Structure 1
Amino acid sequence: MNGSVAGGFSEELIRLTRRPSGLGFNIVGGTDQQYVPNDSSIYVSRIKKDGPAYLDGRLREGDKILAVNGKELKDLRHKDAVELFRNAGHDVSLRIQHRLQTQNGPVGHQGDGGDSGGLRLAAILVPGLALAAAAVWILLRHRQRM
């Protein structure tokens, strides 16, 4: 990841190539449709599976888009931001602000709407280990009574 890291946020420059279906993500926000209270910034609301943003893997739902092809996205109405993306051309440069993750370990791809693989694995292993520990405890207690 390139860019700066400060105050729980990091910035990154992402270059995407437009396909006929677009860049592969939806946006929310603007001066007329604030997504975050008292913040008229533009945010990524959804990453479309198999689109350019999804395949690139760096853009995440909830990221703030600071600039498109060097043009700052400040004080724009939602429809004006959409129009800016539509007219951005074939190769599009996005300056993004990510929220830093508070968890340890690798972060899974968030564009598919699911948990990261580590969370799914933990959801299976933790109950399994608890059952195994209970079985060992029962076995040891049973042996002591013999």
Structure 2
Amino acid sequence: MNGSVAGGGVSEEVIRLTRGPSGLGFNIVGGTDQQVDSNDSSIYVSRIKKDGPAYLDGRLQEGDKILAINGRDLKNLRHMDAVELFKNAGYDVILKIQHRPQNGPAGHRGGGDSGGLPLAAILIPGLALTAAAVWILLRYRHRM
């Protein structure tokens, strides 16, 4: 299945990684309790750690969706349950991944401060906090 293409031009791939001293060399986001986008509880690669197994292999990209680990489907899992699967996956790990579309969010080894998260994942919470702060300030000033 290496390099196979699924419908809609989305590329899927099976990648085998060997765990290093500090793990597999990438971070994940997502899950039913930490959705990256509304109505999407998938698990995604948020950051590739420089010189880790995933970085040295070169096929896994920031923004890729992880469909399965060692044959175990990652659908409908809480974030911490997915993290536990990765921690207990053993020395040799087989990942089934779906590459992000090429015109998707920038990612792999970009060195950005966002850790591979989409810009909206940073801006929307920031705007919500700003709106809440303004609302609190206006209510406080109205009482004086």
8 Å CA contact retained: 1:43, 1:63: yes
Q: How does 1:82-101 map to 2 (within 5 A)?
A: 82-101=83-102
Deviation digits for residues 47-77 of structure 1 (CA, Å, limit 9, x no counterpart): 0000000000000000000000000001000
- The answer for the alignment partner of 2:118 in structure 1 is none
Matched position secondary structure for 2:99: strand
Q: Which amino acid aligns with 1:12?
A: E
Amino acid corresponding to residue 8 of structure 1 in structure 2: G
The one-letter code matched in structure 1 to 2:48 is I
Using the TM superposition, give the Cα deviation of residue 36 of structure 1 relative to its aligned residue in structure 2, in angstroms.
Answer: 1.8
1:1-146 equivalences in 2 (<5 Å):
1-102=2-103, 110-113=108-111
List gaps (5 residues or longer) in structure 2: 113-144
Provide the rounded CA distance (Å) in 2 between the counterparts of 1:30 and 1:63.
14
Number of residues paired by the alignment?
110
User: How much is the aligned-residue C-alpha RMSD, in angstroms?
Assistant: 2.0
Q: Distance in 2 between matches of 1:38 and 1:112?
A: 27
Q: Please list the CA deviations of residues 77-128 of structure 1 after superposition, one character each: whole Å capped at 9, or x if unmatched.
A: 00000000000000000000012324xxxxxx822527xxxxxxxxxxxxxx
Greater Rg, structure 1 or structure 2?
1
* TM-score, with structure 2 as normaliser: 0.71
The list of structure 1 runs, each at least 4 consecutive aligned residues, that deviate by more than 4 angstroms after superposition, is none
The runs of 5 or more residues in structure 1 that have no matched partner are 103-108, 115-146
CA-CA distance at 1:6 after TM superposition: 2.1
* Alpha-carbon distance between aligned partners in 1 of 2:110 and 2:25, rounded to the nearest angstrom: 12
**Structure 2: how far apart are the matches of 1:4 and 1:65?**
15
TM-score by length of 1: 0.70
Secondary structure at the aligned position of 2:93 is classed as strand
> Retained in 2: the 8 A contact 1:49–1:112?
no
Q: Secondary structure of 2:86's partner? A: helix
